[in-house]
Structures are given as structure tokens and as C-alpha cells.
Amino acid sequence: MIRALSFLLLLTAGILTQGVWAAEIAVVYPERSVAASERGYAKALAGHIRRWYAEAGVEADLVAEGNLSARQGHSLIFLVDCHTPPQETLAEVRAGLSAGKRFVVCYSGSDDLARLFGLRAAGYRRNGPWRSMRFLENRPRGAPTAILQTSDNLFAMRAGDSAAVKPMAWWLNAAGRPTEVAWWRTVRGSYWMTHVLTGDGDEADKRRLVLAIAAESIPGVWERAARTVRDEALEPLRDGSLSARLRRLPRELAETRGMERALTLMRAQQTATERALRKGGAEAYQAALDLRTLVSRVYGKTFHAPLDETRAVWDHSGQGLWPDDWGRTAATLAAHGITDVYVNVAGAAFALYPSRVLPRKGSRDRLAEAVAACHKHGLRVHAWLLAFSCERAASPEAVRGFKKRGWTLQDPAGQDLNWLDPTHPAVRQRLVDSVREIATNYEVDGIHLDFIRFPGLPQSLGPRTRARFEATAGKAAGWPECVTDANGSARARFLRWRAEQLADAVQGVRAWLHANKPAVALSAAVYGKYPSCVDSVGQDWLSWLRAGLIDVAVPMNYTEDPARLSDWLGTQTADPRLAARIVSGVGVTASESRLSAVQAMRQIETARQAGCRGFALFDLDETLRTDILPVLRESITTP
């Protein structure tokens, strides 16, 4: 091992300091091209593209629609979610094309915009079977051959009269057969995607695609991306953490895990990466990726996994990694040491199984599929239920029905929100009924409550909620300032009352399970920043643990900052008895954090040192499957 350690410092030799590029890429999000209610989501989609470039060390500006004319330095421009562009946007695009700029249009049904790129609008498609994209030979050099992404709708396009316009990728259905064109190569070196790149999986290949598009006209993109990945890969060597861990690793364990050979392969790949960097191109980027994988796996071999630890994943889709094959998903997770799966099969406004309580979404029984497959492979299944949020609603009619019944929260002006009111007795009973239906009809190991909170303080101050508060806790003069002001006369009373309403909701579920299904565990996904979440969203989850209302708390400790994580965990686990009932959530691909395999391992170790009973990884997607789980299997998930 000493010989192996001696060359670790050599691996960091020759690292180049990267200069700062002026951004040649603009990612434009809509202001007028979509409805106001859709602008936040559209901006988030644009943000993913900017982030993929930033993660590769390539600068890109996030630009509001209408500001392109003031930005003369951009040579590549993404138009994201540009449904119905106004004339001003069309004029900017027309001028940009005339000036030699290249565009990537994602998700637009505008025939006027399509004609500028030699295309014709062919109508809106919905409820599609689109599961992946297969790229053709005319894709940019270095682009992937396929990208996994489930898309339910698109704006179809057909080619106009220009011979330059050709399909570049096809949407494939679940059976792997092509259906609609996913990407077009268009006039003047531009591209058109019939949907939009989402941030929910296979991000490595999406990043590779946008890099390949940029590299066609911007010199040095691949080399910059390769150096960025190379530097990230070697961080555990530069900061000394890998050497320290290797010194502490028992010789017998190092030999069992093949550490000497792994270190040799890592050293060889570092040499190969430096050689590839001198040549440049997409090959340099791939070499750096391979180096990062090898360093991560060496790092992973230095850990020790407890025997009785909970090692969980959240499955946000409720369909596993492969929508029609839960067996394959379960086998993959079991092979990588996962013990528990939180499967999102229900919410306030949907159910992915036959339900008499919740609006049904889809024709398949996803919960039955998950339970059968996971139990076959020794995995525990927790039915993940979005308690009060109406997100992923089966239909707009379902949410409208809630509003007609007076079940939804309101803002202070009395406008209904897409969130059920936890203070309403009928809403709380409906939550119990939903849990009863699941636990009675399916052999689940647990119920996992999410969105068991208010969306925020302003969203808790509607007239109906106020009336229930005043009926039980007394009049509140000067509403809503008496609650929103830091020293408001009713603030403490209201915040305490609101937290009690949520505790009562959890207690209702706990009481039914205790009386009827005592073997079914009750857990909750909760905010990591405690106790501020008590005032912000009414979620006093540590008190739920103390009172035995839940068996396990799963705080969503989504951060990239090690100090912040340590601070959160310090508060959460101050009582060792409660720490043993906490599973720390790790935001591998959360909106708040994007973690490399090394970062994920460090966060897991921090949770272990704090006394947590385990960890849960968000989210079950291609990134987790290909980039994270194989590294964790080296020892993090293998006792």
C-alpha cells in the first residue's frame, strides 16, 4: 500500500489553471411565449441546460426572452419552451439567423417560428409512449447514440422544402420502436427538439449532447469540459482525503477489495487522460469521465458499511427505472445493496393503482408491480404518498372538484391554491382513508408521507383557514399582519395551532395503522432545516418522532455544502435515541443539490457518524443507476 500511496501526488501533476471565457452561449427562457403559470417551470428547464454547461466548465448565460438583441456575443442560442413566440421574439431570431447565429429550439408549436428553420408545424401530441431518443449518424460529433427520457407530449414537426432539414433523432416507445421525430437538423446549423430536455435522469448523456452541439462552432469546448472533469476527479487526491483513507484501511481488506490493482488502473487512466487532453476533442472528455469513475471507485473501496443499515432510494416516477419492468429495477437495486424503496404511487390528486379514494391515473397497478418485484428480491416497499399537494393530478377536473368542496388552501385574498388544506377535517380523514386502502389491499412494508406540511406561511392565511383558527384559538385582529409580522399579536398562537393541525393529521394515520396494521412502518419525508421548518411550513417533525407518531423521519438534507449538512445533522441527531430513527436524505439529483459519487459517499459517512440509521438517495433515475450506485457498491452499500 505504501508503494501505491507514493504515486498519488503524481496524479495531480500538470493540472492547468483554466481561464475565464466570455459566454458564447445563451439559454433563453420564455416571458411572453407561455402562460404566466408555466413560466417558472420553463425557466427551471432552461436552468438545467445552463447547469449542464456550467458543470462542464463552459459558460452560458440564462437570458429572459426579449433580451437577445442586447447580447451580441452569443453565437449559440437555446430557445426553451417557446410555445407561441411574439413578433418581437420572431424578429430577434430572424436577425440572429441572418447574423450567422445558431439556434436550438426546444418545444414550440409555432408555425411562424418553425418556418424560419425550414420546418412546418404538424400539431400537438399528448399521452405519447415516448421513452427514449435514438440519434442518427448525422448527430454532432461526440453526441450520445441514445438518451433515456419519458416524455408525455410534444409539438410534432415536418420538413419543409429545404434539403438541409433532416431528422437527427427519433422518439422510441417502450418496445424500442421509432414513433415521432425527436430532433431535427435544420437550416444554418441549427437544431429543433419536439419536446424539451428535462432534468429527471440520464443527465450525463444530456450534458454530452449540449456539449457536442456547442463544440460544432465554439473552439475548445471539449478540452475545457475534459479539464473540468479531470480536476473534479482528482480532488480527493489533492485534498489528501484519499491518501488518509487508504492509510486507515486494513491491509487484509485492501487486498480483498483489490486495491492495488484499482490504484494501478487509476494511475494508467490519469496518464491516458493527459495524453488525450493534448489531442483534444470528445475523446479527451471521455477519458476524463473514465478517470473520474476509477477515482470514485477507489475512494468507494475505503468505506465500511454497517450490517443493519437502511439503504433506501426514492422512486419519484412510481414506475421504476424501466416503466414496464419493475422486476429489472428491483434486481438492479438489490444487486447494489439497496434495502428499501419509497415508491411514489399516490398523491392528493392521483393514484397509480385502482383506487376508490383517489383519482386514478393510468391503467396499470404500479403498486402491485412494485410490491411483487421488490419482495421477490428482498427489498422493503414503502408506498410514498403526497399527502396534501395536488401535483401530478390525474386531471384538472379532480383539482377543480377539491376547490368546489372548499378543501383547498387559499391565499390571503381568497384565491384557491393547488394544495389541500390540512386544517380541514375532511381532508385529514381522506388521508387516513388513502392509507387504509393501500395498507389493506397491498402487502407494503411501510407508508411514506411526503408534502405533509403547508406550502408556506402566506399560503396558510386564506379566509377558510383563518375561520377555523379563530373558531378554536380565538379572534385575530389585524389579519394577516397579526400573523406575518415578527411581533404580530397572533403569530405565536397561529404557528402553534398550524403545527398542531399537521400533528393531528399524522396522528390519524398512526392510530389507524397501530390498530389495524401494526407491522406497517410509518415514515415521513421532512425538511432538513429544523426548527425553522416549524414556522415556515408547520412541520415539527422532531416532536413527531418524540411522540411516536412516526417510526422514521427522512429529512431531505439536500445540499452540496458539507458544513451545512453537518449543522443540519447536528440538530437533527442531538438526541441519540431519535438519531437511531432518522434516515438522512441525500440529494444526488435534487433541485437543491447535484452530487458526484464522491460527494454522495462523504454525505453518507457524515450521516453515519451522526448516528443515523441509514440514508435515502434521491432520485431513482439513470444518473443514480449508472454514475452513483456502481461506485457505492464498492463498499458503501456492501457490508
C-alpha distances out from residue 149 to 211, 365, 608, Å: 18, 22, 34
How far separated are the first and last CA of the chain, in Å rounded? 22
Q: Left if phi > 0, otherwise alpha if psi is -120 to 50, otherwise beta: which for 474? A: left
Residues near 465 by beta carbon (within 8 Å), at least 6 away in sequence: 409, 410, 421, 423
In whole angstroms, what is the distance from residue 49 CA to residue 421 CA? 35
**What percentage of the chain carries pLDDT values higher than 70?**
96
Tell me what the pLDDT averaged over the chain comes to.
93
- From 201, 187, 19, 7, select the one nearest 93 (Cα to Cα): 187
Q: How would residue 307 be classed by pLDDT, with cut points 50, 70 and 90?
A: confident
What's the pLDDT score for residue 324? 81
Question: Which grid cell is 405?
Answer: 368542496
What's the pLDDT score for residue 13? 43
Within 10 Å of residue 239's Cβ, how many Cβ atoms?
Answer: 10
Q: What is the pLDDT averaged over residues 252-258? A: 93
Residues near 110 by beta carbon (within 8 Å), at least 6 away in sequence: 82, 83, 84, 85, 121
Q: What is the pLDDT averaged over residues 551-563? A: 98
Q: What is the pLDDT averaged over residues 533-544? A: 98
pTM, two decimal places: 0.91
pLDDT at 69 over 70: no
What's the pLDDT score for residue 18? 43
Q: How would residue 2 be classed by pLDDT, with cut points 50, 70 and 90?
A: very low
Instruction: State the burial class of residue 313 (Cβ atoms within 10 Å of its Cβ: 0-12, 13-18, 19+).
Output: buried
Q: How would residue 171 be classed by pLDDT, with cut points 50, 70 and 90?
A: very high
What's the pLDDT score for residue 20? 37
Transcribe 330-397 into DSSP letters: HHHHHHTT--EEEEEEEETTEESS--SSS-B-SSS-HHHHHHHHHHHTT-EEEEEEESSB-TT-S-HH
DSSP single-letter state for residue 22: P
In whole angstroms, what is the distance from residue 465 CA to residue 425 CA? 11
